[in-house]
Structure formats: C-alpha cells, structure tokens
C-alpha cells in the first residue's frame, strides 16, 4: 500500500501501523477526497514456471485510474474493501500449497522449522537459515552443490541419509525447498566440538534484530552468551565482534559510503517539504566538510515562538568523527522547537561562522532576538561577526561550572547565591545574592563583572528579555535525545534527525490541539500560581491605572497601562505577576489580556499547523541524475 503526497513526488509506502496512522491523520485534516490517493498493488505467484507480475484486482466494479489508484468517496471503506477482495480472490485461485508460498516468502533466516515448498527471498537467506537450523538441532552439514540455480546439502557424516535440496523459483532470484529428508543418524563424534556453520554472517543475521535500537548496549560478550543459550554453539569473541560489525553495516550502512547519500537526501528533503533550506560543502578533493538543513515549516512558524535562539554542539562518535551543531528555540508550552542542524569537521571559528551565516540566511533577525550559548571563543567570534546588532547571552549553568573550576569553592552555597543573582528581577535582589558571593570569595564579583559582563548572564542587566531561558538546557536535551544516534554514519544520522523532529512535531501538534485553555499548559499553571498568591494581597487605589499592592511589609506599584510592576516580574516575563493579578481581580479584568502572545494557545497551534512529511523509501526517490552522480568522499581522518 502506498499513498501520493504531492504531484511529482514518489509515492510513500505504508509499511507498518505507524505509517498507516500517519496516513489517517493526513486524510483527517483534509476534506478534499482527491488528494492523498491510496495506491494498492497485489502480487501473485502462480506457478514455478511463471515470473512475478503485479496485478490490481477488480474491486466491486469500481473505476481504477491508470496509476492503479482506486477513486472512491470513502477512502477508509475502500481500503477495507481492497483487503477483503484480495483475500477472497486469492483464496479462489490459489491452492493451499501455493497459498503458503504466496503469503510466506521468507526474508529472515531466523526461523524455527524448515519444510518442503518454503520459498526464501534469496539464496543467502536460505544458506543462513540452514546454518541456524543445523546449529539449533546440533547437526553439521556440508555443501554438495551450490550454484545460481540450486543448492544441495548433505550430512557431514557420509553414512547419514540426511539430504536437502533447493532450487531457483521460476525466473526470480528466490529459492524454493524441493526436497528435505530430516532423518539424522550420524555419529556422535561428528556433532561434537566447534560447529562449522557458525560463521560471522550467521552471527550477523542472528543478532541484527537486536541491534535495531541504537540505544541498546549489545557487546560481543553478550552475543557469545546468547549464541550459547539459544543455539547451543560457542563462538569466539572475535567472531562475535565481526558479526556485530557486519550487522551494524547492514542496518546503518557503511560509514565511508554514507556521505554519498547526502545530496540525494537533501534534494528530497527540499522537494518533499517546501521552503526547506539545505547546503553542503566539500573541499578541493571532494571530501566532506559541512552540511546544513533547516525545515521549511520551522522557518515559517518560528515567528510564533519567543525570539530566543540557543546554540550548542555535540561531538559525533562514528568512524570519521565530526561535530553536530544545533540551534533551537522554545514554543508556547516551553517545549523544544528545533530550528536547524549542521554537521561540521570540528568546533572552530570557520565552522561556527559558516553555521551562523546559514542560520541568518534562513531565519533572518527579529526584534528582541537573543542568542544564548556557552562561552566558547569560536561562538563569540561568530555571533559578533554575523549578528553584530544582537545580544549574545551566556548559559548560566556553563558559567557556574567555570566558576567552580576557577575558584574551587563549596558547591551548595555558591550555587544558591549564583543562581539567585542570575535570575534576580531587580537590583535589590541582585545585590543581596552578590553579597553572598562576596562572602564566599571576593574574587568572584570582579570576574563576573569585568571578564564576563553582567549583561551576559543576568536577567536584570540583560538589554533584551530572556523570558525563562537562562540556560542552554533545551540544546542539552536534544543532545541527550541523540546520544545513541551520534554513533550512526552521517547518512543515517541525518535521517534520524529528520525522524526525531518529525516525531516531536506531531506530538506537539496533538498536544496543542488538545488544549482548551487560553494559554498553554505550562503558562496556565504559572498564571494559576500567581493568582493563588494574589489572594493574600491588599490593594490601595491611586487611580484607575496605577495601584499600590501591599505584600506583607513590602509594597509594590502596578501600572496596568504600561504593564509594569515594581517587582519587575510583570515586564520581564510579559505575564501578570501576583501583584498584577490582585489588581486585575479587583478591577474584574481578564488576566489573559496582559500576557504575551508567545504563551497563548493560538501561538502554540500556529507553531505546529503543518506536517513534516516523510521522504519515503530511498529506492523510490526520483532524483535527477546530476545529483545522483555527485560523489562525496569521507573526510580525511587519522585513525
């Protein structure tokens, strides 16, 4: 089953439940029945002397267009009819024996039984299946004849009558079991000791499904133990290691070959998701240097997020190394909104400047925009050169780690004082925590004031609003999510990045559509906290705009017209503080009218109004020949 996403784009295959539910969501959001057509292909295997041919059955006399898609007013009912008609028609035309063949082509050699009339997808699958079968049953066999047409095995003991024969199936590359005599009467000396069928290719096919999850730590010693427990054979550590390497190459692709897939991937990314910006750079010897991509819907919808960009890097652990650069922001629910990704040779002045230039070209500049990062010198130089008018703030967590290393002081007291100073809303509160830092070490204040600069790490001295983004935690969260993916070859890594943002985008889209409050879930919770705190406050009216709010022994002035409060939280967070909530309650005014657009449900929904479309199977990509023939060599590295 396939479906057409857009005109000119190859159909996307529906391979599993996730793909099917993704198709349902696309159809549900569109009332036009003529888009996202469902394409169904039925393959029949009639006899040994006939090759495979694709046919489309006549479904209740419905009209079928030239592309093989069924046009119907009800797409879901038609999908059910297609399945029912295929099963019914095949039941009437195929015998029981051929039915098992038609629906049971074996592609995985890890099967429990071998029987006559089984069909294997290829000869290699058959070879490995027989090797695993012999190991499971503690038999050993030898190859009597092997060619492109047939495959004959006998027992290692010449006195045994065990016999197996398979041959090519019709005009295909598949093999069908023709004869199998399972009787084993070989000597016990034959079936003891090391097993001759325990090759690294067999180990590869046996463990490949266990390596599908890149987060799983599956060591060669674990493979040795599993082979003993499941197949009763003992493989060496080196053979288990080689089997694992072959399995990883099979699942992820070879590291040196994956760079050549980048041009086709980036082309399809731009073709499928309109507005996407991509680029890659090679040196004079066509060796990989840089790669960049920013999804079109992220570029279009970033205007609904706070104008704060967090940039960070993480090193890659594949065979050729490299560094992944990431830029991200926060949505209305304070969740991660990834902006763009780049893979570069290392974290240096040239690579960061290239990345910042690409990001500026994609997203431009906004009023009140601020870039937050750690204190790496290359990032500071790149921001100064590419964004000379923007504010560059530092991550308070990274700065705190630098202070601990530089001054070697107690962690708990130092942490409380430093975090209090960085998050302070007014000068009084700031000076209180800085005095605590002076008591711990009088060298910390001059360092933070002269070498770092107060405007780089504090809320109260920052020229731009940083909202709640005082650290680069959102970038670190992305790095954590990519912990296992960093070991993948670069071609598989970029696909993993695309799948990650696609999954996050769909999850946030569902979350946004399920909100029934005026603000996002997180913002609504903060506003509720401020409202609860406001109930114990007293109000003195000056006029209809300015009010005095008494909070214990302290008093605060709230200006509704300018949306300010002397506690400074109202103007810095752009959300009604507890003092403002008390005044709004007295005036019977809506507290939502005094909150920033960036916290609203409207902004949250607008951020995720579109979909990140899948690229489909690479075998179906329609890529121009001039892009296909592009050769990108892996970077020159020293082992």
pLDDT digits (tens, 9 = 90+) for 69-117: 333 333 333 333 333 443 344 344 434 334 334 446 888 888 888 889 8
Q: What per-residue confidence (pLDDT) applies to 82?
A: 35
Q: How confident is the model at residue 341 (pLDDT cuts 50, 70, 90)?
A: very high
pLDDT tens, 536-569? 899 887 677 889 999 888 899 999 999 999 999 9
Mean pLDDT of the chain: 82
In degrees and rounded to multiples of 5, residue 114 shows phi and psi of: -120, 130
In DSSP terms, 291 is beta-bridged to: 280, 343
pLDDT tens, 284-326? 889 999 999 999 999 999 999 999 999 999 999 888 889 999 9
Most confident of 25-34, 381-390, 404-413, 629-638: 381-390
What is the distance between the alpha carbons of residues 331 and 297, in angstroms, rounded to a whole number? Answer: 14
The pLDDT of residue 401 is above 60:
yes
Q: What is the pTM of this model?
A: 0.72
Q: Helices 75-93 and 17-28 sit at what angle, rounded to 10 degrees? A: 140
Q: What is the 3-state secondary structure (H, E, C) of 545-603?
A: CEEEEEECCEEEEEECCCCEECCCHHHHHCCCCHHHHHHHHHHCCCHHHHCCHHHEHHH
Most confident of 55-59, 183-187, 584-588: 584-588
Q: What per-residue confidence (pLDDT) applies to 16?
A: 79
In terms of C-beta density within 10 A (0-12 exposed, 13-18 middle, 19 or more buried), how is residue 43 classed?
Answer: exposed
In degrees and rounded to multiples of 5, residue 633 shows phi and psi of: -85, 155
**What distance separates the 2 farthest-apart alpha carbons in the chain?**
110
**Tokens matching residue 537:** 């406050």
Measuring CA to CA, which residue among 160, 125, 133 is closest to residue 144? Answer: 160
CA separation, residue 487 to residues 146, 308, 422 (Å): 38, 30, 36
Measuring CA to CA, which residue among 75, 150, 82 is closest to residue 120? Answer: 150
Helix, strand, or coil here: 226? helix
265, 628 contact by CB (below 8 A)? no
What is the distance between the alpha carbons of residues 379 and 397, in angstroms, rounded to a whole number? Answer: 17
Q: What per-residue confidence (pLDDT) applies to 8?
A: 60
What is the distance between the alpha carbons of residues 46 and 65, in angstroms, rounded to a whole number? Answer: 25
In terms of C-beta density within 10 A (0-12 exposed, 13-18 middle, 19 or more buried), how is residue 355 classed?
Answer: buried
What is the distance between the alpha carbons of residues 57 and 175, in angstroms, rounded to a whole number? Answer: 27
Q: Could you tell me what percent of the chain has a pLDDT over 70?
A: 86
């Amino acid at each position: 089953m396939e479906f057409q996403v857009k005109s000119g784009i190859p159909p996307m295959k529906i391979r599993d439940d996730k793909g099917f539910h993704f198709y349902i969501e696309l159809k549900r959001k569109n009332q036009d029945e003529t888009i996202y057509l469902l394409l169904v292909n039925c393959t029949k295997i009639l006899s040994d002397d006939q090759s495979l041919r694709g046919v489309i059955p006549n479904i209740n006399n419905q009209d079928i267009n030239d592309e093989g898609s069924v046009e119907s007013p009800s797409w879901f009912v038609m999908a059910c009819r297609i399945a029912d008609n295929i099963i019914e028609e095949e039941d009437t035309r195929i015998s029981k024996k051929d039915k098992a063949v038609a629906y049971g082509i074996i592609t995985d050699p890890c099967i429990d039984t071998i029987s006559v009339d089984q069909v294997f997808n290829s000869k290699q699958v058959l070879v490995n299946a027989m090797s695993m079968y012999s190991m499971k049953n503690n038999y050993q066999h030898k190859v009597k004849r092997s060619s492109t047409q047939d495959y004959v095995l006998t027992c290692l003991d010449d006195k045994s009558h065990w016999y197996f024969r398979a041959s090519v199936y019709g005009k295909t590359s598949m093999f069908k079991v023709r004869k199998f005599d399972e009787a084993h009467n070989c000597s016990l000396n034959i079936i003891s000791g090391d097993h001759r069928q325990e090759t690294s290719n067999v180990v590869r096919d046996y463990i490949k499904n266990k390596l599908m999850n890149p987060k799983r730590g599956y060591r060669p010693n674990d493979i040795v133990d599993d082979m003993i427990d499941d197949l009763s054979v003992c493989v060496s550590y080196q053979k288990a290691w080689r089997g694992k390497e072959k399995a990883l190459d099979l699942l992820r692709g070879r590291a040196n070959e994956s760079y050549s897939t980048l041009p086709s991937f980036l082309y399809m990314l731009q073709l499928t998701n309109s507005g996407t910006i991509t680029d890659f750079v090679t040196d004079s010897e066509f060796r990989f240097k840089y790669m960049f991509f920013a999804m079109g819907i992220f570029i279009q919808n970033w205007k609904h997020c706070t104008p704060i960009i967090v940039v960070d890097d993480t090193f890659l652990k594949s065979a050729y190394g490299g560094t992944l650069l990431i830029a991200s922001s926060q949505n209305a629910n304070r969740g991660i909104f990834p902006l763009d990704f780049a893979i570069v040779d290392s974290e240096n002045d040239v690579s960061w400047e290239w990345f910042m230039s690409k990001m500026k070209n994609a997203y431009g500049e906004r009023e009140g925009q601020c870039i937050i990062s750690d204190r790496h010198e290359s990032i500071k130089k790149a921001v100064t050169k590419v964004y000379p008018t923007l504010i560059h703030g530092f991550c308070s967590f990274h700065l705190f780690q630098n202070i601990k290393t530089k001054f070697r002081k107690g962690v708990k007291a130092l942490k409380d004082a430093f975090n209090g100073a960085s998050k302070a809303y007014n000068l009084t509160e700031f000076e209180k925590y800085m005095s605590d830092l002076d008591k711990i070490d009088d060298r910390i204040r001059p360092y933070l004031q002269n070498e770092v600069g107060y405007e780089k790490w504090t809320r109260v001295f920052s020229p731009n609003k940083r909202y709640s983004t005082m650290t680069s935690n959102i970038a670190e969260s992305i790095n954590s999510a990519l912990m296992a993916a960093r070991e993948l070859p670069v071609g598989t890594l970029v696909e993993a990045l695309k799948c990650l943002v696609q999954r996050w985008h769909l999850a946030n889209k569902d979350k946004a559509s399920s909100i029934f409050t005026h603000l996002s879930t997180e913002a609504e919770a903060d506003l509720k906290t401020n409202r609860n705190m406001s109930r114990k406050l007293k109000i003195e009216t000056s006029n209809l705009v300015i009010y005095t709010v008494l909070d214990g022994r302290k008093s605060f002035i709230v200006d509704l017209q300018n949306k300010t409060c002397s506690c400074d939280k109202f103007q810095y967070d752009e959300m009604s503080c507890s003092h403002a909530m008390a005044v709004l309650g007295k005036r019977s005014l809506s507290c939502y009218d005094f909150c920033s657009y960036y916290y609203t449900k409207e902004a949250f929904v607008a951020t995720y109004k579109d979909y990140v479309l899948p690229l489909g199977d690479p075998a179906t990509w329609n890529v121009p020949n001039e892009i296909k023939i592009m050769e990108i060599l892996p970077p020159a590295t020293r082992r």
